[in-house]
Amino acid sequence: MADHNYFANLIWQIADLLRGPYRPPQYERVMLPMTVLRRFECVLAPTKADVLAEYARRKGGNVKGEALDQRLNRAAGQRFHNRSSLNFRKLKGDPDNIDEHLVSYINGFSQNVRDIFDFFEFENEIERMRDANILYLVVSSFADVDLHPETVPNDQMGLIFENLIRRFNELANETAGDHFTPREVIRLMVSILFIEDDQLLATPGAVRKLLDPACGTGGMLAEAQNYLREHNSSAKLFVYGQDYNKRAFATAASDMLMKHVDHNGSGDNIRFGDSLTDDQFTGETFDYLLTNPPFGVDWKKQRREIMQEADQASFDGRFGAGLPRVNDGSLLFLQHMWEKREPVRPKEHKHGSRLAIVFSGSPLFTGGAGSGESEIRRWFIEHDWLEAIIALPEQMFYNTGIGTYVWIITNRKEERRKGKIQLLDVRDMWTAGGSEENKRSLGDKRRHLSRKQIDETVVIYGRFEENDRSKVFDNEDFGYTRVAIERPLRLCYRMNIENKARFLDVCPHLLDDVQAVDKELGREPMLDWNAVWSQVEDLLRSRQAHWKAMEKSLFRHVFTQKDPGGEPVIRGGGRDREPDTSLRDFENVPLKDDIDTYFEREVRPHVPDAWMDRSKDKVGYEINFNRYFYKYTPPRPLEEIDAELKQAEDEILRLLREVTQ
């Protein structure tokens, strides 16, 4: 049986017919809806006669609209149907009117399919191909492509869609990774998502719900269904998704219609809209949440609505924990998903939720204590929801070679995992090539995880033990207190002509007082500002001069400069030393450490005159993978390096001699 690459290449060859009227980045406007249309026809072919017969009986009767659609769907044995007598073969019979017949054929589908083609905006492309005299050629070519489920199983069809979208986006220099995730990454995420739930899923009558709020072409939803069919065929999992890209949404919606997925009967399990500002699942909860949000995409366009919700709703809304910087909205997706978690109330048959999400490295550590990112991490860790993070190999995704991480979040940790976080490092566990079926690189994807490597990772995860790839930490290990370290301000006073002129330019009415100060204190540098100011105040009192606070501040600013040899400046005649803000530093003290002890051990020996300003304390959280999995590699001996250099020099000389000869 031909694999998905064969059919993707076959369809790709048809795209050459568009060259000229369409630029290569525009091919997807035609090829995706035509592929979907041909797949629909092949799926419906076995029952087409039954649908036409049922439609002939019902036509003109009292059964109309949605009720008629449901009856014809039953006749088709699918969640959709086509009541038109046309098909691809018949469309070829009237080349002069093929555009009208193609539109009529599409309008013969049930309403849910017609809605999908509205998102494809395909009628515009039909007119464009007709005007360019290529419509007949395209339809004729697709008529020869057999996409019947017996020839192309559902999982292979999903891969065909993904293959085509990746190619189209490479032509457009866009991010194909916004639309789908490598299947082996999804398999790993799904395996860990369900790792402890065999008994829960095997419960008679159990029905579970899963949401992907950035579902793209629906690959994650399909893989979750496949996993349960393979491992727990009696379980029912209703899958739901949302996406804001029209063509990706239309492709996912059509793919879900064609697959025998569990659903709630409403037929709207894939919904269109921006999850962050147009949540299509408001008020709903889910047992499982799974997604790969776009990496590093800003949320400037959604900023007003998101900030308004965060300010007004706080923790009653989705973004109460905090807002990340505007150039990366990944952590917004995490909060959006977690707001839809199921509570843990076993007596009410509510068993909590598990979540898996793919991130770049940025959400692990971006933002210092008190920042939006840190506060979001703090919220998840202090509530004991973060179960594990898995570091994946680089060059695993189609649109980026950067390192990626899978976060596992749950509000129903096993007893042994409570208060703990597991870090797994499988960055060096990979196999060359785009996939097990295709050893060639696919875009930026040059590596993949084999099934054996996925199984090995899942086993390591499940054992929850310390080894070279797995580390287990207490929640508090990732937290720290950011403490301000102050050093005293030290000033040197000196009166001179230039500074006196600067001061009097602003306060000319204080000329007599300044002259008196100049005469009393002289022009020599003085390193004790407290003593200097005490003398100045005594002098001003004797002269019955009353300076304003601004004038006193200006006097110090003009006639002093910082000097490390000066005496510490004391605040307002009290005992507290005034800090030098330019010397202020911060120490990140681990939460497990006593701050006073840490200060005396780590700071005092190096900075004897320092003190802590605890009023500025902030708690932060970050997860630095390299810190926990760093392996020291000693440098090679100098003799070995010298020998290699000598060998290279000899080779260069040999080549030079050959050239000169």
In CATH, the architecture of 176-474 is: 3-Layer(aba) Sandwich (3.40)
Q: Give me the mean pLDDT over the 416-432 stretch.
A: 94
Asked if residue 261 has pLDDT above 60, the reply is no
Which strand (E) or helix (H) includes residue 651?
helix 638-660
Q: Which pLDDT belongs to residue 263? A: 47
Q: What's the whole-number mean pLDDT along residues 507-530?
A: 95
Please tell us whether the domain made up of 4-171 is placed in CATH 2.60.40.
no
Which whole number is the average pLDDT over 401-422? 95
Average pLDDT value over all residues in the chain = 89
Mean pLDDT of 138-162: 87
Query: Span 182-192, mean pLDDT?
Result: 92
Distance CA 511, CA 105 (A): 96
SS3 per residue for 11-60: HHHHHHHHECCECHHHCHHHHHHHHHHHHHHHHHHHHHHHHHHHHHHHCC
- pLDDT above 50 for 264: no
The pLDDT tens digits for 278-289 are: 999 999 999 999
**pLDDT: is 289 or 661 the higher one?**
289
pLDDT number for residue 28:
87
Residues 426 and 359: their CA atoms lie apart, in Å, by 15
Is this model's pTM higher than 0.95 or not? no
Number of residues written out for the chain: 661
Integer CA distances (angstroms), 194 to 289, 345, 459, 463, in order: 11, 19, 13, 15
Q: Quick one: average pLDDT of 531-539? A: 95
Mean of the pLDDT values across residues 525-548? 95
Per-residue pLDDT tens digits for 8-37 = 788 888 988 999 999 888 888 999 899 999
Per-residue pLDDT, averaged over 343-348, amounts to 91
pLDDT of residue 423: 97
Average pLDDT over residues 208-234: 86
Task: Label residues 398-437 b or e (16+ Cβ within 10 Å = b).
Answer: bbbeebbbbbbbbbbbeeebeebbbbbbbbebbeebbbee
Q: What is the pLDDT of residue 4?
A: 65
Q: In angstroms, rounded to a whole number, what is the distance separating the alpha carbons of residues 162 and 397?
A: 13
**Taking 60 as the threshold, does the pLDDT of residue 262 lie above it?**
no
Structure tokens at 272: 């269109």
d(CA 149, CA 73): 18
pLDDT band at 342 (very low <50, low <70, confident <90, very high): very high
Position 392 scores a pLDDT of 94
Is residue 556 over pLDDT 50? Answer: yes
What is the pLDDT, as a whole number, of residue 437? Answer: 64
Instruction: Please check the confidence at residue 601 and state whether its pLDDT lies above 50.
Output: yes
Whether residue 170 is predicted with pLDDT greater than 70 in this model: the reply is no
What pLDDT was estimated at residue 135? 95
Q: What does the DSSP 8-state code read for residue 82?
A: B
Q: What percent of the chain has pLDDT over 90?
A: 66
What confidence score (pLDDT) does residue 336 get?
A: 97
Contact, 531 vs 605, CB < 8 A?
no
Domain range annotation of the chain: 4-171, 176-474, 491-573
Question: Residue 464 is encoded by which pair of tokens?
Answer: 């929850």
pLDDT at 352: 94
User: What value does the mean pLDDT take over residues 513-530?
Assistant: 94
DSSP 431-445: EESS-SS--S-BTTB
Q: How confident is the model at residue 180 (pLDDT cuts 50, 70, 90)?
A: low
The model's pLDDT over 378-403, given as tens digits with 9 standing for 90+, comes to: 999 999 999 999 999 998 887 778 88
List alpha helices for 314-351, DSSP H. 330-338
In terms of pLDDT, which residue wins out, 251 or 35? Answer: 35
pLDDT on residue 176: 40
